[in-house]
Structure 1
Amino acid sequence: MNTRPIAGLAMTALLAGVAHAGPAVATFRVQMTVASSCAVTLAPTAIDLGTVTTQSSAVNYNGSTTLKVNCSKKTPFYIGLAPSDGNRNGKGAMLGARAGNGAQVPYTLYSNAALTRVWGNTATSTRRGNGVAGTGMAAADAVSFPVYAKVTNVNFMPDRYADTVTVSIHY
């Protein structure tokens, strides 16, 4: 009996299986999400209308400050300003510092130097409302917004009057 051909065939089959082995392949992804973000990078300083004397007729006292907002690149945002009394239409009231002084000096906030565009707090993440709109520039580039205030009458008890305004950025 001749066993050489069978042994030769078995050896050839074994070598052929080793010679045709290929690499195992798999894939994976690298990913991340860049979320929109906004911040007030320069808080506005106080709008100081100065020291005034009591007036019985309408007299305008104006002042301004600047706030800077930094939002993610190409992120649309809307800014609202809210006086401490919760008024959403850009009108607030400064309260006196003296005990027993219940007077409230009314003021209005504006977004332009001509004092014609009232700046209130009806902005949302999808619309400007009576706020101000902007678009994020880049990580290091803040957008500046001037804020103006006007008082038209100062017929009030002598005192130091003030109010706090909250800046809200919706994006």
Structure 2
Amino acid sequence: MMLKKSLLAAALFTISGFALTANAATSPITATNKFTVQMIVNKTCKVVVSATTINIGAAAGVDADAAASTLTGNGQVINVNCSKGTGFNVGLTPQNVSSTTGLGTMKGAIVGNTDQPTYQLNQSSSGTAWGNIVNTNTESGTGLGMGAAKTIPLTVYATAASADFTPDTYTDTVSVNVTF
């Protein structure tokens, strides 16, 4: 009887083994893993100047002893786009003279004319100086995005305290720098 029980147990064990093997072979097996989807958005800004000249205007020479009135040029629009949420500062640097305060010097076009009228770049027509020292005399803002509808317009003005100079066309170039 003992032998019958051992054979029966062995037979059941063997049948069970076949059943497990057969079941595993017919069931789908899934191997899994994962991957990441990533997008890196870098900070970026672009600046576009709407026109090429701030025209302080044609002024008749004035008597040096007369009280000088301030001449204010038409505003120049500087359009800034920065990626969404990107803080920026716009600085202006006159080229004819080294200045961090927006005080510039214009030179005449006529050879031999040594007059150099000064002008001041301003954040408004009434006068906050606009230079290039970040967080001191620059215009700051936060980007809304890079689309055309998200452009931030900033207007710069130029003023000259006098027109008591040799008749000529006086110019200077101003660099627009966006720090972000």
TM over 0.5: yes
Structure 1: how far apart are the matches of 2:163 and 2:48?
Answer: 33
1:119 and 1:9, CA in 2 relative to 1: closer, same or farther beyond 3 A?
closer
Question: Deviation digits for residues 44-64 of structure 1, max 9, x if unmatched?
Answer: 431112211112142211012
Count of paired positions:
166
Runs of 5+ unmatched residues, structure 2: 1-6
- How much identity, in percent, do the aligned residues show? 31
- Relative distance call for 1:86 and 1:99 in structure 2 (3 A) is same
* Equivalent of residue 93 in structure 1, options 105, 116, 122: 105
Query: Aligned with 1:15: secondary structure?
Result: helix
1:33 matched residue in structure 2: 40
CA positional deviation for 1:10: 5.4
Residue 21 of structure 1, CA deviation: 6.3
Deviations 1:74-97 (A, max 9, x none): 211100000002311110000011
Are the aligned partners of 1:45 and 1:66 in contact in 2 as well (CA < 8 Å)?
A: no
TM-score under structure 1 normalisation? 0.86
Q: Which runs of 5+ in 1 are unaligned?
A: none
Structure with more of its chain in helix, by fraction:
2
Larger mean Cα displacement after TM superposition, 74-83 or 135-144: 135-144
Cα distance in 2 for residues equivalent to 1:158 and 1:105: 11
- 1:14-60 Cα offsets, whole Å, 9 max, x none, are 32442566311100000011111111134443111221111214221
- Higher Cα radius of gyration: 2
Give the equivalent residue in structure 1 for 2:88. 77
Mapped pair 1:152 → 2:161? yes
Distance 1:162 1:23, change over 3 A: same
What residue in structure 2 maps to residue 102 of structure 1? 114
The equivalent residue for 2:152 is: 143
Which secondary structure does the structure 1 equivalent of 2:178 belong to?
strand
